[in-house]
Amino acid sequence: MPRPIQTAIWSRQAQWMLTQSRRRLGPTFTLQIAYEGKWVIVSDPEMIKQVFTGDPKVFHAGEGNEILRPLLGKFSLLTLDDGAHMSQRKLLLPPFHGRRMAGYEESMREIAGREIERWPTGVPYQLRPRMQAMTLDIILATVFGVEGGERLSPLRESLRAFLDMLTDPRFIVPLLGLGPDRIRSFPPFRRRVDRVAALIGREIADRRVAGDLEERDDILSLLVAARHEDGSPMSDAEIHDELLTLLVAGHETTATALSWAIERLIRHPDKLSRLRDEVAAGEDAYLTATIQETLRLRPVIVIVIRRLTEAIKLGGYDLPAGLSVVPSIHLVHRDPTIYPEPDRFLPERFLETPPGTYTWIPFGGGVRRCLGAAFAQQEMAIVLEELVARRVIEPTDPAPERNMRRAITETPRRNTEVVLS
Ligand code: HEM
């Protein structure tokens, strides 16, 4: 198919296109989308393993994200490769480790409970925008360390405006058209980015002189205290770029995954009621399995991209430098040889068999694996626990929601419409 037609289909129905292509062409095939070079889609777990464990100098992930540079800055983990990527990643890893994660639980639970109590009962209500409000507040509390007080509202509002810009075609189309360099001078863009930068700059400056830095466990405080290998602190620009990156990478994704979890559960009342019973009994195995199954069946992101800096051999193919190898999350998650009855929502499947490193890949893999994977799953678990414990949730329409593309995420088309009681 000509590139513009492939692009048009991809932008509306990426999962359908992947499934149809595999059906017609087999597990490995090429696509040509927008201005991207050729993509070789791979869906065989052995090949995916080779990609994720391959030399990061050969499999570049940051290069393909350069369009994000004017938004997130030149230090953003998402846009870097090689040594620069590893050095930022090392600084960002400690705040996402187990011990730290437990420290975020209280804030997550508090914000989730407060938000859920505000939701109206007895009327049709769209959960996805509310999930977004909740995940934004959770990031503000745990990442920025801003949980209340007079600073919360301006920060929340300016970040909201910034995030909305990223999913609004009126901004995204000029962004793509102008390219990463000229977009900087586009006034509506400039205004939002500058406002966010000023507010974040103020938080960083305050934290640098805070007397209680040692006791604080928000990620901003940890980054202020972090040191590069040569002992130097992170610059304001580095911290700014990474905070924005965590916000952009962690906010809409988690809200969308939560929306899908509810969307699937309410259409399987037996599973919802098992989840409610197990949560009430203080068990978390079914909760974990529900989250894993949601991320399998409705992955928020359907592919990850690695651009080759050198020619490689992969699964019997000779692939030249410059080409992108693209593990398809969607295809491997729907492979019937790995997951019997792959289109069914069956959390039980993960009670017996834990997810495999190269067959369950909603968070990608290797040295680029999602930094917030544990954070997101903990947040999902807490929000689901709070929600099923506090409310009865029913769909307004028995028909499943189809997916719809919002920027790079696949979201429920009707925004997870429910009636709560
Ligand atoms: C359910 C929610 C989420 C999903 C489905 C998700 C998915 C992903 C995926 C697919 C990648 C690319 C991995 C690769 O290329 O192999 C990624 C990268 C990343 N994610 Fe997440 N993510 C989620 C939540 C979060 C959260 C909560 C945070 C932080 C608070 C976060 C921070 C990041 C960062 C910083 C990267 C870039 C890692 C790097 O390039 O080294 N994500 N995520």
Least confident of 12-21, 160-169, 301-310, 365-374: 160-169
Mean confidence (pLDDT) of the chain: 94
Query: DSSP state, 141?
Result: I
For residue 326 and ligand 1, the question of a CB distance below 6 A is answered with no
Per-residue model confidence as pLDDT tens digits over 188-197: 788 888 999 9
Pocket test for ligand 1, best of 101, 246, 363, 377 (most atoms within 8 A of CB): 363
Q: Is the CB of 383 under 6 A from ligand 1?
A: no
Q: What is the pTM of this model?
A: 0.96
Q: How far apart are CA 130 and CA 285, in angstroms?
A: 26
Give the helix/strand (H/E) hosting 89.
helix 82-92
Q: How far apart are CA 18 and CA 327, in angstroms?
A: 11
**Each residue's pLDDT tens digit, 235-274:** 999 999 999 999 999 999 999 999 999 999 999 999 999 9
Ligand 1 probe mutation, 81, 370, 410, most atoms within 8 A of CB: 370
Residue 348 contacts residue 289 (beta carbons within 8 Å): yes
pLDDT of residue 123: 97
- Ligand 1 atom nearest the C-alpha of 78 is 40
Cα–Cα distance for residue pair 224/206, rounded to 1 Å: 10
At 11, is the pLDDT very low, low, confident or very high (cuts 50, 70, 90)?
confident
> Which helix (H) or strand (E) element contains residue 350?
helix 349-352
Strands of the sheet with 124-126, listed across from one edge: 124-126, 417-420, 393-395
pLDDT digits (tens, 9 = 90+) for 178-231: 766 677 777 878 888 899 999 999 999 999 999 998 889 899 999 999 999 999
For residues 78 and 246, give the distance between their C-alpha atoms in angstroms, rounded to a whole number: 9
The C-alpha R_g of the chain, in whole angstroms, comes to: 21
Q: Write down the pLDDT at residue 407.
A: 77
pLDDT at 175 exceeding the cut of 80: no
pLDDT at 167 over 90: no
Asked if residue 61 has its Cβ within 6 Å of ligand 1, the reply is yes
**Residue-by-residue DSSP string for 263-330:** HHHHT-HHHHHHHHHHHHTT--HHHHHHHHHHHHHS-SS-B--EEESS-EEETTEEE-TT-EEEEBHH
Residue 294 in contact with ligand 1 by CB distance below 6 A: no
Q: At what angle do helices 252-266 and 269-280 cross, to 10 degrees?
A: 110
Of ligand 1's listed atoms, the one at least distance from the Cα of 247 is 30
CA–centroid distance, 195 to ligand 1, in Å, is 25
Residue nearest to atom 39 of ligand 1 (CA): 368
> pLDDT tens across 51-107, in order?
999 999 999 999 888 878 888 999 999 999 999 999 999 999 999 988 889 999 999
Which atom in ligand 1 lies closest to the alpha carbon of residue 219? 30
pLDDT at res. 186: 79
| Confidence (pLDDT) at 165 | 84
Which amino acid residue places its CA nearest to atom 21 of ligand 1? 370
Ligand 1 within 6 A of CB of 246: yes
Cα 411 to ligand 1 centre (Å): 16
pLDDT of residue 180: 65
pLDDT (0 to 100) of residue 66: 82
In the chain, the domains with their CATH numbers are 3-420 (1.10.630.10)
- Please give the pLDDT value at position 168: 79
DSSP 8-state class, residue 73 = -
Euclidean distance between CA atoms 406 and 248, whole angstroms = 13
Question: Looking at residues 106-118, what average pLDDT do you find?
Answer: 96
| 369 CA distance to ligand 1 middle (Å) | 7
pLDDT score at 176: 67
Residues paired with 306 in a beta bridge: 325
372 C-alpha vs ligand 1 centroid, how far in Å?
6
pLDDT of residue 214: 87
Q: What pLDDT was estimated at residue 208?
A: 95
pLDDT of residue 87: 95
Ligand 1 atom showing the smallest separation from residue 329 Cα: 10
Beta carbons of 125 and 266 less than 8 angstroms apart: no
